[in-house]
Each structure stands twice: as structure tokens, then as C-alpha cells.
Amino acid sequence: MTLSLSNHLAEDSAYHALRRDVFDGLRRSPKSLPPKWFYDSVGSELFDQITRLPEYYPTRAEAEILSARSAEIASATGADTLVELGSGTSAKTRMLLDALCEQGSLRRFVPFDVDASMLQSAATAVQAEYPNLEIAAVCGDFEEHLGEIPGGGRRLFAFLGSTIGNLTPGPRAQFLAALADALQPATACCWARTWSRTPTGWSAPTTTPPG
């Protein structure tokens, strides 16, 4: 099947967005920077390594849930399109892809991410593993380009890795509003969210030498 990548980011959009976020973050107290800037191709690979550390429990917990429930999710949604938001390497999505393919409903996979090179690499890897799927990758920003995600059919949106927890209340509200605008009838959502984020539990993975 076909593989396409539509890039909706201008060549210099990352520079201008980073400049704006840095200036805004330096004016805050405490100073801050949106976590999305951690995840270029190098940052995505580094985070993938961090998720394999013994101290980093969310990925294992998420994998256990998906292993136990993917077939149930596939049956309940009957999705012919799987949309992965913040796809990165798309490693977390394989269980949903397998379940939907085994059920026989899946026709299209739409990974959505801000990093075009990582997106191209991940989409190519998925195509090699699932040659019968149409891969329609979308490169864009959560705040501006969710409307560019292909519509039609029965879609399942997957937002894994507790990524939504990286958003502060303002950007989180903007993201949810943009997502609501992008959703259509016969669309289902699968979310991953870590509810308990104690300082002790979350400091270990990032204070080890690999982290």
C-alpha cells in the first residue's frame, strides 16, 4: 500500500515557534520551556531509551493495559483508521495495530507528529511491518494542524505515553478544543494518563545517568 507524508509546517516555523516559547518562558516564574521541544529526532530516541529504564514504570503499565485490552478496544471501535497523536517512533502503537489488523477492520494508519524526519522514519518502519496498510503521516503542531488529519470512516485516535500530562492547563485546554473540532461521528479515543505523579516516583527515571 501507499505511504504519504504531508508536512504542514513552514520551513522556518520551528525557529519562530521556539523563539516565541523561549522568550515567553524566560518571562515566567519559574522559568519554563514547553516539553514539545525535547522531542526532535534525537530527543525522541533518548526518551525511548528512558522508557526502558527499570525506574520508568508508566510505559510498562501502559503496555500491560494495551496487551490485555487491545482486542477489546478493536472490537468495540471497529476502526478502519488508527490515528496516533504525538507518534514519535510509533513503538507504543504496535499492539493496537496488531489487534485491529487481526480483526480485519484496519485500512489506514495516520501518525501525527511535529518532527518530520522522525515521522518519516517511523512511518517507513510501520509500512515494512504492515505492508497492507495505507500510511498517511501528518507533520504538524497540535495547536494548529489537527484539522489536517484525514477524515471519513471509523477512526480511533490514540494519545499514548501520558503526553497530555506534559501540557499545562492553558495549552491543554487549547489542545482539547482543537481535538474536539477535529473529531467526527464514529470516532473513538484511546487515552493514556498517569494520575499519580508524586515527586519521588517521577524523579528517579530522569536522575539516573541514562535519564
Per-residue model confidence as pLDDT tens digits over 102-123: 999 999 999 998 888 889 999 9
Amino acid at 147: G
Question: Could you tell me the residue ranges of all domains in the chain?
Answer: 3-207
Fold adopted by 3-207: Rossmann fold (3.40.50)
Residue-wise pLDDT for 23-70, tens only, equals: 998 998 889 887 777 777 777 778 778 878 887 888 888 889 999 999
Q: Which three cell numbers stand for residue 126?
A: 510501520
Select from 92, 103, 104 the least CA-distant residue to 47.
92
Average pLDDT over residues 62-79: 93
CB contact burial 36-46 (16+ within 10 A = b; e otherwise): beebebebbee
Length of the chain: 211
Number of alpha carbons in the 13 Å side-chain half-sphere of residue 156: 25
Asked whether residue 76 carries a pLDDT value surpassing 70, the answer given is yes
Select from 122, 32, 47, 130 the least CA-distant residue to 84.
122
List of long-range contacts for 98-101, beta carbons under 8 Å, 24+ apart: 98/70, 99/70, 99/71, 99/73, 99/74, 100/74, 100/156, 101/130, 101/132, 101/133
Q: How far apart are CA 21 and CA 25, in angstroms?
A: 6
CB 68 within 8 A of CB 96: no
